[in-house]
Amino acid sequence: MAAPLTLLLIVAVTIRAALNRSSLAELIAERVEVVSPITAWKRVIEGLALLDLGVSPYSGDVFHETPLIIYLFHFLVDYAEITFMLADVITAVALYMAVKDYNKQVFRKQKFSLEADRYPADCRELIRTPKEMYYIPLKVAMFYLLNPFTILSCVAKSTCGLNNAVIALFALTTIKGNVLLSAIFLCLATYQSIYPLTLCAPAMLYLMQHQYIPVNFRRASFWWFVAQYLFMYLGSLFVIVCLSFFLLGSWDYLPSVYGFILSVPDLTPNIGLFWYFFAEMFEHFRLFFLCVFQINVFFYTIPLCIKLKDHPVFLIFMQLAVISIFKSYPTVGDTALYLAFLPAWSHLHRFLRNNFLVSCVLLACSALFPVLWHLWIYAGSANSNFYYAITLLFNVAQILLVSDYFYAFLRREHHLTNGLYLKKKDGSEATLVLK
Amino acid sequence: VDATWKELTNVLSGIFCASLNFIDSTNTVQPSASFKPLGIANGTDHRFLRYATLPREIVCTENLTPWKKLLPCGSKAGLAVLLKSEKLFHSSFHSQAVHIRPVCQDQQCKTMSLELRQTLNVVFDLHTSGQGKREWSLFKMFSRTLTEACPLAASSKIYIDITDNPQEEQFELSPATPLLSQAVVLGDRRTFSVYDLTQQVTFGTVRSLNVLIRWKSTEGDMLRPLLHAERYVAGYGLQTGEIHTLMYNNHPFRSFPVLLLDSVPWYLRLYIHTLTVTSKGKDNKPSYIHYEPSKDRVRPHLLEMLVQLPPHSVTEITVQFERALLKWTEYTPDPNHGFYVGSSVISALVPSTVAMNTNITEEQPLFSTFFPCKEESSYFVRVYTEPLLVNLPTPDFSMPYNVICLTCTVVAVGYGSLYNLLTRSFQIEEPNPGLAKRIANIIRKMRGVPPL
C-alpha cells in the first residue's frame, strides 16, 4: 500500500505547489472562510515584525498565536509553504496509519465475536470483510489531502494545518496504544486551541480498553489509569506553558491566546455561529450567552462517552466534529479534519438517511460563501444577513451530517445485537424508531 | 495622569461647549517624540504627555462664544468686535486654539507665571465672498469696523503683509500708515504695515478704522511652503484598505528630517509589516520607529517615525489595514457615513533661507514667536494632514432578536438531534390501534378482560 500512498502524496503536493505559485495564493490567504483571527498567516508575519520592532506581539490585539509558533516560524518563515505542505503530508500519513491499525483491531474484534457466535443469523450482510476494508486507509488519506478545504487551508498558510497535524498524530499514537506520546500530542493540541481538551476522555477510554483495564468506576485500576494519563497530560501542559513563559519573558500570551478564544472580542465574520450573534447581542446578556456557547462545546463529552464507551474511535470522530462546528473561530480546515474520517465509516451508508441533502447543502454553501461575501463587502448590494444565512445553513448541514452518522452507527450496533430483519409481533416487517 | 486627563477633558468640554468629554482611552495616545512642552518646562518625560483627537467634531458658534469670553474685553472692545459668527464661519478654513505655557515673569526669571495664548485662524475666500470685485475690507469681511482698542490691552495691532507690494503695484492699501515692521515668519523675511489701535491717530477723523485693500493686477506669487503633506485611503471594498501619506519637500537642495505621528483608531487594524516608505521611487528607511499596537476597545494605534526627506521630492508612506466588524451598539447613528481617522501630525525643523533672530523681544509680532527657535538656521513647523473617512462593514441593525432566535435554533437543532440519539434507544414500532379500539381496550382493562 505504500506505492498508492506515495502517489497520492505526490499529487497532493503538486496541486498545492501549483496553487502557491499562482496568483490565487494571496486571494485565498485573505478569505475569511479559510483563515480566522487565530490562524491567519498575515498575523503571524505581523507578530514576527512586532518582535523585530522590539514590541511584544501580545501588547496589541492582532496576534493570537502561541509563543511556540513564534519560535517555530522565527526560523522557518522563509520555508513557510514547505512547512504547511509537510504538515498536511504528516496529517495524511498519520491518519492513514491510524485507520489501518484501527481496521485491524475492528476486524480482530469482529472475528472473535463471530467465533463466539454473538451476532444473530441474519446479520451476514453487516459483517465487514477485509476486501472492503482494504482501501479504507488510502481513502481516508485521499479524503484529507484532496479535499478542497484542506488545499485552500494549506495554500493560505493557515496554522489550522499545524493543529490538524498534531491532532492526527494524537489519533495515531492513541490507536497504537502509546500512552505517553498520546498525552504529549493532546497537550500540544490543547496548548494551541483549548478545545481538544475534550479529546482526553476518548483517549483514556481507548487506551484503557487497549490495555484491558475494565471501564468501571468502582475499580481501582480505572482510577489509577486516569490518574496516570492526567498526570502525563497536565504535566506536559505545565511544561509547555512554562516554556512559553521563558520564551518571551512574560505571561502576556495567556489573555491574548486563551482569553481571546474564550471571550471572543474579535467579531470578524467566519463560517461559525459566534460572530453575528455577538455582533447583535445586547450588552447585558453578553457574558451569559458567551458562557452558554462555550459550554456547548464541552458539554457533549460526558454523554457521548457514556453512550459510546465501547467505540472510542467513533467517539473521537464525534468530538472532533462537535469542536469544529461549535468552536469560537472555525475555519474550513477544521471541517476538513473530521470529514477525512468519513471513509472509515463507509459501511454505514445503508443506514444514512440524509446524505443527499447534506452533500447538496454543503456544496451549495461552499459555493455561495465567496459570492455573498463579495456582494456584501465589495459590491455593496447585499448586507451581512446574506452571509450570515449561508453560515447558518452550513452549520445546520454539518450538524445533520454528524447526527446522521451517529444515528447510522447506533442503528448498526442495534442490528448487530438484535438482528437485521426485525419482525413485529404479528410477523410483518417492522420499522425502528427511537423511543 | 489618566485621572487628571479625564478631569481636564471634562472641564475643557464644559468651558468651551465642545464635546471634549468624548475623549477617553480609545482616542488618547502617549507620543514619545513628537510633542515637547512649550515654555520653561523642566522635564520632557513623555509619560505625562497625552494627545487626543476628535475628528468627527466640528467647530461652530458654540465654541467661539466661550472662546471670546476668555478675552479680557470679551467681544465688546478691541479687535474682538470683528468676531461675529455669521461672517466668521462663512469662510474656507477656521481654526481656534488655546495654549497655556509657563513663562518667566521678568528678565531675571525669578518667578514663573502661566501664559494663556488664544489664536484664531480664518481663511476667507476672496472670490466667493467678494462679489467679483477684487477688493476686500474689514467692513466687507466682518460687517463691522474698529472704533477703539481694548482698554485692558497692552498692545493691539493689525499687520498687513506688504512684502510683495513694495511700490504698490499689486494692491493699494488704505488708510495709509507710516508704521512698518519686519519679521521672519516661517523662515522668510516679511514686511508688514502696522495699524496700532492704541494710538488715537489710527482712527483718523471718522473715529473708525476700515482697512481696505484694492487689487490692481492679477499676478501674484503664491507662497509655497517648504513642507506640506496630504493623506488618503486607497483600496476598495469593506475588508481591507491602505493609508497613504504623502510628504512634499520643496526645498531645492536641503534635506531635513520630519517626525510623523499617526494615531489610527483600533477598529482599523494596521499591519505594521506592510509599512513602506519610498522617496523618489527608492526605499527610505526611517531612522526611528515607535509603534504601539492597539488593543481592541482600549487604545488606538500609535505610530511615530523619523523620516529623512530628500530635497525636492515626494515621500510616500503606505500601511495596510483591515476593517473590523463592531458590535451593533458601537456604531454611530449614521453608520454608513463612515468613521473618521484623525489627522497625522508632522513635526519638522525646516531649514530657513534667512537667518532668524533667536532673541524673543517685545517688538516682534506675537504670531512669529510661537515656537521659539534655538538655532538660527531652521524653524519649527507642525503640519496636520486632513482627516480620513473610512467605511466599516455594518451588521443589520434591525436584526438583534432575529439573529438570537436563528442562531439559538441552529444550536438547538444540534442539541436536539444529539440528545435524541443519546437518550433514546431503538425499539420496534407497534402501530397505534384506531380510536375505537383504544377506547374499547380501556373499557376492557377496567373490566379486567384481556385487550383486543
Please tell me the distance from the alpha carbon of residue A264 to that of residue A275, in angstroms, as a whole number.
Answer: 8
Query: DSSP letters of A248-285?
Result: HSSSTHIIIIIIHHHH-------SSSHHHHHHS--GGG
| C-alpha distance across the termini of chain B, in Å | 89
Q: How far is B412 from chain A (nearest CA, A)?
A: 10
Q: Is A84 exposed, middle or buried (0-12, 13-18, 19+ CB in 10 A)?
A: buried
Q: Which of A218-222, A255-259, B152-156 has the highest mean pLDDT?
A: A255-259
- Per-residue burial over B112-124, b = 16 or more CB atoms within 10 Å of its CB, e = otherwise: eeeeeeeeeebeb
Query: DSSP letters of A62-127?
Result: S----HHHHHHHHHHGGGHHHHHHHHHHHHHHHHHHHHHHHHHHHHHHHHHHHHTT-S-GGGGGGS
Averaged over B385-390, what is the pLDDT?
93
Please tell me the distance from the alpha carbon of residue A434 to that of residue A365, in angstroms, as a whole number.
Answer: 30
* Strand blocks (E) in B143-287: 157-161, 171-174, 180-185, 188-196, 212-215, 227-234, 240-249, 256-264, 268-279, 282-283
Please tell me which of the candidates B413, B418, B428 has its beta carbon nearest to residue A430. Answer: B428
Q: Give the model confidence (pLDDT) of A228-243 as tens digits.
A: 999 999 999 999 999 9
Query: DSSP letters of B270-317?
Result: EEEEEEEEEETTEE---SEEEEE--BTTTB-EEEEEEEEEPTTEEEEE
Amino acid B369: pLDDT? 60
Averaged over A21-37, what is the pLDDT?
90
Q: How far is B400 from chain A (nearest CA, A)?
A: 5
Q: How far is B287 from chain A (nearest CA, A)?
A: 12
Please tell me which of the candidates B296, B399, B403 has its beta carbon nearest to residue A265. Answer: B296
Averaged over A29-52, what is the pLDDT?
92
Is the confidence at residue B130, as pLDDT, over 60?
no
Residue B364: DSSP 8-state? S
C-alpha dist (Å) from residue A420 to A125, A430, A432: 9, 11, 11
What average pLDDT does the structure give for chain B? Answer: 84
Which three cell numbers, joined as nine digits, stand for B193? 504695515
| C-alpha distance across the termini of chain A, in Å | 44
| B263 Cβ contact list (under 8 Å, min separation 6) | B27, B29, B51, B53, B300, B301, B302, B303, B342, B344
Please tell me the distance from the alpha carbon of residue B342 to that of residue B23, in angstroms, as a whole number.
Answer: 13
Please tell me the distance from the alpha carbon of residue B309 to that of residue B225, in angstroms, as a whole number.
Answer: 14
According to DSSP, the β-strands at B180-185 and B188-196 are antiparallel
C-alpha dist (Å) from residue A257 to A64, A254, A415: 5, 5, 46
Amino acid B378: pLDDT? 79
Amino acid B100: pLDDT? 86
Interface contact A432-B428, CB threshold 8 A: yes
Residue B226 CA neighbour count, 13 Å, CB half: 27
C-alpha dist (Å) from residue A380 to A49, A324, B391: 33, 30, 11
Please tell me the distance from the alpha carbon of residue B260 to that of residue B258, in angstroms, as a whole number.
Answer: 6
List beta partners, residue B184: B189
Averaged over B315-334, what is the pLDDT?
93
Is the confidence at residue B39, as pLDDT, over 80?
no
Interface contact B404-A281, CB threshold 8 A: yes
Dihedral in degrees, nearest 10, Cα atoms B94, B98, B101, B105: 100
Show residues of chain B in contact with A326, CB under 8 Å: 411, 414
Residue B342: DSSP 8-state? P
Is the confidence at residue B354, as pLDDT, over 90?
no
Amino acid B352: pLDDT? 78
Contact A158, A40 (CB under 8 A): yes
Torsion sign, CA atoms A214, A216, A220, A222: positive
A284: contact with B, CB 8 A cutoff: no
- Per-residue burial over B261-284, b = 16 or more CB atoms within 10 Å of its CB, e = otherwise: bbbbbbbbbbbbbebebebeeeeb
Q: Give the model confidence (pLDDT) of B255-295 as tens digits.
A: 899 999 999 999 999 999 999 999 988 898 899 999 999 99
Interface contact B393-A403, CB threshold 8 A: no
Q: What is the ipTM of this complex?
A: 0.92
Is the confidence at residue A427, as pLDDT, over 80?
no
Grade residue A421 by pLDDT with cuts at 50, 70 and 90.
Answer: confident
Amino acid B214: pLDDT? 81
Q: Give the model confidence (pLDDT) of A128-168 as tens digits.
A: 888 888 899 999 999 999 999 999 999 999 999 999 999 99
| B46 Cβ contact list (under 8 Å, min separation 6) | B30, B31, B32, B33, B35
Q: Phi and psi of B121, rounded to 5°?
A: -115, 125
A268: contact with B, CB 8 A cutoff: yes
Residue A235 CA neighbour count, 13 Å, CB half: 11
Q: How far is B448 from chain A (nearest CA, A)?
A: 23
Please tell me the distance from the alpha carbon of residue B101 to that of residue B69, in angstroms, as a whole number.
Answer: 20
Q: How far is B118 from chain A (nearest CA, A)?
A: 38
Averaged over B239-248, what is the pLDDT?
94
Please tell me the distance from the alpha carbon of residue B30 to that of residue B52, in angstroms, as a whole number.
Answer: 9
Averaged over A314-330, what is the pLDDT?
94
Please tell me the distance from the alpha carbon of residue A99 to that of residue A141, in angstroms, as a whole number.
Answer: 9
Amino acid at B378: S
Interface contact A60-B273, CB threshold 8 A: no
Is pLDDT larger for residue B373 or for residue B39?
B39
Interface contact A377-B429, CB threshold 8 A: no
Is the confidence at residue B359, as pLDDT, over 60?
no
A392: contact with B, CB 8 A cutoff: yes
Is the confidence at residue A249, as pLDDT, over 80?
yes
Query: Which of A104-113, B37-46, B132-141 has the least mean pLDDT?
Result: B37-46
Torsion sign, CA atoms B215, B216, B217, B220: negative
Torsion sign, CA atoms A110, A114, A117, A123: positive
Query: Which of A109-113, B14-18, B66-70, B350-354 has the least mean pLDDT?
Result: B350-354
Q: Chain A: residue nearest B235 by CA?
A: A378
Is the confidence at residue B390, as pLDDT, over 70?
yes
Give which of A94, A185, A106, A102 is closest to A144, Cα–Cα.
A94
Residue with cell 493543529: A163
Give which of B134, B177, B131 is closest to B158, Cα–Cα.
B177
Averaged over A311-321, what is the pLDDT?
94
According to DSSP, the β-strands at B212-215 and B135-137 are antiparallel
According to DSSP, the β-strands at B288-292 and B282-283 are unpaired
A303: contact with B, CB 8 A cutoff: yes
Q: Taking CA B230 as the corner, what is the angle to CA B224 and CA B48, rounded to the nearest 5 degrees? A: 105
Query: Which of A197-201, A305-309, A310-314, B217-221 has the least mean pLDDT?
Result: B217-221
Amino acid B373: pLDDT? 60
Amino acid A141: pLDDT? 93
Amino acid B367: pLDDT? 67
Check whether the bond before B175 is cis (ω within 30° of 0): yes
Please tell me the distance from the alpha carbon of residue A318 to that of residue A402, in angstroms, as a whole number.
Answer: 7
Long-range pairs of B327-332 with CB within 8 A, sequence gap ≥ 24: B327/A267, B327/A278, B327/A279, B327/A281, B327/A283, B328/A279, B328/A280, B328/B395, B328/B397, B328/B400, B329/A283, B331/B392, B331/B394, B331/B397, B332/B56
| A60 Cβ contact list (under 8 Å, min separation 6) | A50, B292, B293, B294, B295, B301
Is the confidence at residue B362, as pLDDT, over 60?
no
Please tell me the distance from the alpha carbon of residue A37 to that of residue A17, in angstroms, as a whole number.
Answer: 25
Please tell me the distance from the alpha carbon of residue B251 to that of residue B257, in angstroms, as a whole number.
Answer: 12
Overall size of chain A counted in residues: 435
Please tell me which of the candidates A59, A60, A384 has its beta carbon nearest to residue B393. Answer: A384
Amino acid B452: pLDDT? 67
Residue B325: DSSP 8-state? P
Show residues of chain B in contact with A279, CB under 8 Å: 325-328, 395, 403
- Helix ranges (H only) for A116-178 are 130-133, 136-145, 148-155, 160-176
Amino acid B361: pLDDT? 55
